[in-house]
């Protein structure tokens, strides 16, 4: 079952979603393969600090964050990768590195790499390294209200 806060939120908003259980995997590309989801539809969440505040950068599994492009998208030079120590305790009920890209549930800004907007669905870790949630990208965008930018490479 997805992390409780995510499931409760999606259910309250009457969002249709699918949970996919897969063998444990730790990289976004491995998860996509294990869950039989195209890599371009599998989103990974990379934690960053923007002006000293935690934020999420969400991009397709096969892409990497271009920090300079993300700084431009965020409109600040004060942006860097966060360490695991910086965010580990911020996601109760989630395994480290498996947090869902719903920053709104954790009072965090969310930046989405533009190519994710090209797909009808989005899939992402559901709080564990063995479960993925898949839902309509339009629902994700409506609920999370991310800032869109081209920051993946």
pLDDT digits (tens, 9 = 90+) for 20-69: 887 777 777 777 777 777 777 789 999 999 999 999 999 998 899 999 99
pLDDT for 66-121, tens place per residue?
Answer: 999 999 999 999 999 999 999 988 988 888 888 999 999 889 999 999 999 998 99
Does 134 have pLDDT greater than 50? yes
Beta strand 131-136 with 17-21 is: antiparallel
For residue 119, give every residue at least 6 positions away whose Cβ sits within 8 Å of its Cβ, in sequence order, or none. Answer: 40, 41, 137
What is the three-class DSSP state of 49? strand
Q: Percent of the chain at pLDDT above 70?
A: 98
Contact by Cβ (8 Å): 2, 127: yes
**Separation between Cα atoms, residue 77 and residue 63, nearest integer Å:** 22
CATH 3.40.50.1360 fits 4-149, yes or no: no
**pTM (predicted TM-score):** 0.90
What is the three-class DSSP state of 11? helix
pLDDT at 2: 59
Burial letters 87-102, b for 16+ CB under 10 A, else e: beeebeebbebbbbbb
Contact by Cβ (8 Å): 68, 152: no
pLDDT band at 1 (very low <50, low <70, confident <90, very high): very low
What is the average pLDDT value for the chain, to the nearest integer? Answer: 89
């Amino acid at each position: 079952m997805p992390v409780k806060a995510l499931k409760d939120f999606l259910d309250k908003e009457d969002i249709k979603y699918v949970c996919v259980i897969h063998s444990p995997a730790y990289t976004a590309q491995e998860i996509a393969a294990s869950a039989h989801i195209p890599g371009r539809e599998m989103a990974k969440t990379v934690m960053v600090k923007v002006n000293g505040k935690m934020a999420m950068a969400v991009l397709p599994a096969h892409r990497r964050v271009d920090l300079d492009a993300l700084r431009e998208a965020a409109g600040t030079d004060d942006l860097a990768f966060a360490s695991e120590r910086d965010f580990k305790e911020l996601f109760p009920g989630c395994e480290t590195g498996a947090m869902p890209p719903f920053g709104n549930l954790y009072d965090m800004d969310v930046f989405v790499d533009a190519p994710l907007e090209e797909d009808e669905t989005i899939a992402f870790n559901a709080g564990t390294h063995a479960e993925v949630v898949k839902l309509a990208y339009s629902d994700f965008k409506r609920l999370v209200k991310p800032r869109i930018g081209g920051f993946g490479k």
